[in-house]
Amino acid sequence: MLIIGEKLSIIAKRVREAMFKKDKGPIQEIAKAQWNAGARMIDANIGPAEDGGEELMQWMVRTIQEAVPSPICLDTTNAKAIEAGLQVHDNQWGRALINSTSNDPERFPILELAAKYNCQVIGLTVGKGGLPADAEERCGIAAEIMARAMEYGVPLEDLYLDPLVLQIATSQDHAMHVIKAIKMFQELNDPAMKTVVGLSNISNGCPKNVRPLMNRQYFALLMYHGLTSAIADAAELSEIAKTMDVIMGKTLYAHSYLEM
């Protein structure tokens, strides 16, 4: 299970202020905390970043990689900012992951970047027409993204399919659609397609005390159904991930398994 540390998002006030002031301290502190909690990739979410996105993404990639030996998940809708980030990304700890392409033609240039820079890319299973209704529709979109990826020269092993987790508070039936989609995505190729979710969206809008429980429980279910990776708070999930690995026989049990 690859946990992609999610805490470096422009949505968080502290992170946003640090980005504006180019203050490395808080960024590196959060990156280190995620790394120490078990994240093996760090998400750098700079939002739409219409002004100065290129420079900001480069600064983020460098700032994070100065602090932790980790590849970066470049999270923005600004393709130029992504390309700028890829240009400075240090691949010695693994290749970057772009977040994301989709079945919207406006997002196809992202695949060109993935091919050009030989990096990995998330395919969000939405199209131009709005949210997918169920697992089957997500699969249909996934198949189109896969065809597009091959057309652009991105190997399917480098594509992570994202079924789009929706809020339980507003779209309760999608919780199970997403689980089913995770199962179905894997069947779309041999070797199985990789999958990723933006986990904490499930509990977005829930009361604060419910959120960690909801995230952890949902994560365990998704892991059981073969999820490859999650953009999430590593501190919240690392114990669940280790426990699920033991329950599913992926690591050998020992009394101190949580400490490993």
Partner 1 sequence: MPFTPPKESYNGKIFELALGSGEKALAIGGENVLSFHGFEGSTPRKPVIAMEVQDIAPADWPQTVQDVYKDVSGDPVAWALHCQDKLGAEAIALRLTGTHPDKGDISAEQAAATVKKVLEAIKVPLIILGSNHAEKDTAVLVKAAEAAKGSNCVIGKAQEANYKTIAAAAMANDLKLIAMSELDINLSKQLNILITQMGFDREKLITDPMCSALSYGLEYTYSVMERIKLAALAQNDPVLQPPMLADAGMYVWKVKETQAPEAGLPEWGSLAERGIAWEAVTASSFLVSGADMLIMRHPAAVEAVKKFIAEMEV
Distance from first CA to last CA of the chain, Å, rounded? 15
Lookup: tokens for 68: 């932790």
**Choices 8-16, 117-125, 150-158, 246-254 (CB under 8 A): range interacting with partner 1:** 246-254
**Choices 1-9, 40-48, 155-163, 247-255 (CB under 8 A): range interacting with partner 1:** 247-255
**Choices 7-15, 28-36, 155-163, 252-260 (CB under 8 A): range interacting with partner 1:** 252-260
* Minimum distance of partner 1 from residue 234's CB (angstroms): 19
* Minimum distance of partner 1 from residue 72's CB (angstroms): 24
- Phi then psi dihedrals of residue 47, to 5 deg: 70, -160
260 binds partner 1 per the rule CB under 8 A: yes
Which of 204, 251 has the CB closer to partner 1? 251
Quote the CA–CA distance of 103 and 161 in Å, as a whole number: 12
Classify burial at 112, counting beta carbons within 10 Å of its beta carbon; exposed 0-12, middle 13-18, buried 19 or more: middle
Binding mask 193-232 for partner 1 (x = CB under 8 A): ----------------------------------------
Q: Under a CB-based contact definition with an 8 Å cutoff, are residues 114 and 154 in contact?
A: yes
254 binds partner 1 per the rule CB under 8 A: yes
256 binds partner 1 per the rule CB under 8 A: yes
Which of 31, 223 has the CB closer to partner 1? 223
191 binds partner 1 per the rule CB under 8 A: no
Quote the CA–CA distance of 174 and 165 in Å, as a whole number: 7
Which of 22, 250 has the CB closer to partner 1? 250
14 binds partner 1 per the rule CB under 8 A: no
Lookup: tokens for 209: 């005390």
Counting every residue written for the chain, the total comes to 260
The helix/strand/coil state of 229 is: strand
CA distances from residue 143 to 6, 19, 225 in whole angstroms, order as listed: 27, 37, 19
- By CB under 8 A, the count of residues binding partner 1 is 9
Give contact residues for partner 1 (rule: CB under 8 A): 250-256, 259-260
